[in-house]
Amino acid sequence: MSAKDRIYLFDTTLRDGEQSPGVSLNVEEKLEIAHQLARLGVDIIEAGFPIASPGDFDAVKAIARAVKGAVIAGLCRANREDIDRTWEAVKDAETPRIHTFLATSPIHLKYKLKKSREEVLVQAVEAVKYAKKFCHDVEFSAEDASRSDMDFLARVTENVIAAGATVVNLPDTVGYGIPEEFGRFIKELMSRVKNVDEAIISVHCHDDLGLAVANSMAGILNGARQVECAVNGIGERAGNAALEEIIMALYTRYDYLKKTTGINHGEIYRTSRLVSSLTGMQVQPNKAIVGKNAFAHESGIHQDGMLKERTTYEIMSPELIGVSQSQLVLGKHSGRHAFKEHMESLGYTLNDEELARAFNGFKIIADKKKQVTNDDLEALVKDKVYAIPERFSLEYLHVVSGSTVLPTATVSLKIEDKVFDAAATGDGPVDAACRAVDKITDHYGKMLDYKLSAVGGGKDALGEVVSHIQIDGKVYNGRGLSTDIIEASVKSYINAINKHYYEVQRRDKEI
């Protein structure tokens, strides 16, 4: 297998993915996702856009310092201020990359940049040369490449490679491409650039027409060696090419594609679940590879075929991506050792502190449910292990509600070992409880979005609530888990307030 048959996976979940409407991750959440991406084995992690905000800068810097095994990239516009800020954020990485971009399409030049082609060419080359002073690995992206003039795009590509770009990315920024057309576009561009072998050609496709993965694969088949994508396909507007779909297409159809990656396939499902949990963006049931129906079979004909030979209706093994087929259960009499071993069998290696938090949460759930399933345990880990430190924690909740009763809630919160009570009325039991929480915390949130889903099945299933809460103009993802859906809702609200409080404290310390 030659070097040209190795495909490099560039994950932009933490940059383009976080630009999804309603998604806002704090530093700790981004760091957790970055560590998981490294375990998955992606080659490049685009950790953020450092100049966009102090929080983005802090996250990129923290990831650069802590995460090993992957190239850590920061995005910047093609100007010195952006490049300086990005280098400051990524310089401590084991392998840093500066990723600079500038639009090249006629529509962007005329309406957004208001620059001539020559001005853009000069700016692109100067940006790459300047970035090269700091960092050997420099990527240049020609924004809206798929709608650019081919002659001009080839000139830009050739000149930025001559200036030192190690990677040139040719994005389908608005998801306009059709696979056959996009493949020809990549092939023609490469044939026109004399020094194309001195850099890696990359593709970054959006899903506005539902063709991001297909276009990315067409790019790979026509010479691209890096593909930019995001976990679960999240990103601007309709999202990016889905990382897990790219990975499994390359693996499953190696017979046709003849391309390899350095991915640890067993971490795919866990990565998907983690990103879904922390971003609050649920994975649709029929989502390829990681949707809950991806390996489910209801048709009698399909079930019969599966029982006789799995490959009749499954082209890949669910175990390969980390989906456990067994639904082993634990109960309230299970001990800490059995719990630890079972978590390890699911792929979670917990330190003593994490194990203690998870086990205590497990005991609470086990008292309320006869059986605790693998789905319950995965939700529990996300709720207890990946949670931020709790300034406010729910101690007690009592609600009175009905069709002829004014909804009323009494809430007790623990704050630094002291318990505070408040009562309030509202439009419903959740609204009343949240208003009581506001009285105690003095942090007032506005619920923008609310999603309730059942974890597992049965009447005693855990309820998982993911909400988007706006506090002081910023949106936070809140998450709560309980067999009582009102309690789960209130926990989700409190989780968002804790994130807000934690962020304000960190910002005040920096000042």
CATH number at residue 401: 3.30.160.270
The tens digit of pLDDT for each residue in 468-478 reads 899 998 888 88
| Mean pLDDT within 462-488 | 90
Distance CA(240)–CA(143), nearest Å, equals 14
Distance CA(268)–CA(287), nearest Å, equals 14
Distance CA(7)–CA(259), nearest Å, equals 6
208: exposed, middle or buried (C-beta count within 10 Å: 0-12, 13-18, 19+)? Answer: middle
| Mean pLDDT within 117-126 | 98
Judge if 441 and 474 occupy the same domain: yes
Percent of the chain topping pLDDT 90: 67
Q: Give Cα separations from 57 to 44, 73, 157, 389 (angstroms).
A: 18, 12, 29, 22
Distance CA(360)–CA(379), nearest Å, equals 14
Strands 462-471 and 474-482: antiparallel
Res 22: pLDDT: 76
Judge if 127 and 240 occupy the same domain: yes
Judge if 240 and 151 occupy the same domain: yes
pLDDT for 365 beyond 90: no
Judge if 222 and 161 occupy the same domain: yes
DSSP secondary structure string, 59-109? HHHHHHHH--SSEEEEEEESSHHHHHHHHHHHTTSSSEEEEEEEE-SHHHI
Judge if 92 and 113 occupy the same domain: yes
Assigned domain for 258 exists:
yes
Distance CA(461)–CA(366), nearest Å, equals 11
End-to-end CA distance of the chain: 53
Judge if 340 and 480 occupy the same domain: no
Distance CA(10)–CA(141), nearest Å, equals 13
Res 462: pLDDT: 83
Judge if 130 and 235 occupy the same domain: yes
Give me the domain span that covers residue 367. Answer: 330-383
The tens digit of pLDDT for each residue in 13-29 reads 999 999 887 788 889 89
With beta carbons less than 8 A apart as the criterion, state whether 246 and 213 touch: yes
Residue 219: name the closest of 241, 239, 244 by CA.
Answer: 241
With beta carbons less than 8 A apart as the criterion, state whether 220 and 297 touch: no
Distance CA(99)–CA(121), nearest Å, equals 17
The CB density around residue 504, as the number of other CB atoms within 10 Å, is 14
Res 124: pLDDT: 98
Question: Which residues contact residue 403 at a Cβ distance below 8 angstroms, ignoring those fewer than 6 apart?
Answer: none
Assigned domain for 141 exists:
yes
**pTM surpassing 0.95?**
no
Assigned domain for 296 exists:
no
Judge if 219 and 356 occupy the same domain: no
Judge if 128 and 173 occupy the same domain: yes
Considering its fold, how many domains does the chain have in total? 3
Question: Which residues contact residue 382 at a Cβ distance below 8 angstroms, ignoring those fewer than 6 apart?
Answer: 273, 274, 277, 278, 479
Residue 139: name the closest of 81, 212, 75, 211 by CA.
Answer: 75
| Mean pLDDT within 453-463 | 76
Res 199: pLDDT: 98
DSSP secondary structure string, 388-425? PP-SSEEEEEEEEEETTEEEEEEEEEEETTEEEEEEEE
286: left (phi over 0), alpha (psi -120 to 50) or beta: alpha
Judge if 343 and 245 occupy the same domain: no
Residue indicated by tokens 């693996």: 251
Res 43: pLDDT: 98
Assigned domain for 204 exists:
yes
Element (H, E) at 482: strand 474-482
Res 301: pLDDT: 65
| pLDDT band of 456, cuts 50, 70, 90 | low
| pLDDT band of 362, cuts 50, 70, 90 | confident
Q: What is the CA radius of gyration of the chain?
A: 25
Residue 26: name the closest of 263, 247, 279 by CA.
Answer: 279
Res 383: pLDDT: 67
| pLDDT band of 329, cuts 50, 70, 90 | low
Judge if 53 and 89 occupy the same domain: yes
The tens digit of pLDDT for each residue in 376-401 reads 777 777 666 666 778 999 999 999 99
Q: Give Cα separations from 133 to 80, 124, 126 (angstroms).
A: 11, 15, 11
Assigned domain for 459 exists:
yes
Q: Give strand ranges (E) for 216-356.
A: 226-229
Percent of the chain topping pLDDT 70: 93
473: left (phi over 0), alpha (psi -120 to 50) or beta: left
Res 297: pLDDT: 65
Judge if 346 and 264 occupy the same domain: no
pLDDT for 259 beyond 90: yes
User: What sections of 133-211 are H helices per DSSP?
Assistant: 150-163, 179-192
What mean pLDDT value characterizes the chain? 91
CATH number at residue 64: 3.20.20.70
